[in-house]
């Protein structure tokens, strides 16, 4: 398993988890983590999106080049 794929998959999972935590905390408690609800929403959106992109890139590296 290539090291690049491992790094992308782990980093992607951590980013998705962090984004989901911030969004879930905001939904569950209603109290923003950063002090502003919009910043929390943007933070969660960015991290979930970027994490999903890392997970997709890691899967592409594992699949190898298309022939």
| pLDDT cut 70: percent of the chain above it | 99
Can you give the pLDDT at residue 64? 86
Q: Which domain holds residue 9?
A: 3-63
Using 50, 70 and 90 to split pLDDT, how confident is the model at 1?
A: confident
Q: How many domains does the chain have?
A: 1
Using 50, 70 and 90 to split pLDDT, how confident is the model at 65?
A: confident
CA atoms within 13 A on the CB side of 26: 20
The residue ranges of DSSP E strands in 1-67, in sequence order, are none
């Amino acid at each position: 398993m290539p090291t690049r794929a491992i790094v992308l998959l782990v980093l992607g999972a951590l980013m998705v988890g962090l984004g989901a935590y911030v969004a879930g905390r905001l939904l569950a408690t209603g109290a923003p983590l950063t002090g502003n609800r919009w910043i929390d929403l943007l933070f969660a959106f960015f991290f979930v999106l970027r994490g999903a992109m890392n997970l997709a890139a890691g899967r592409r590296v594992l699949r190898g080049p298309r022939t």
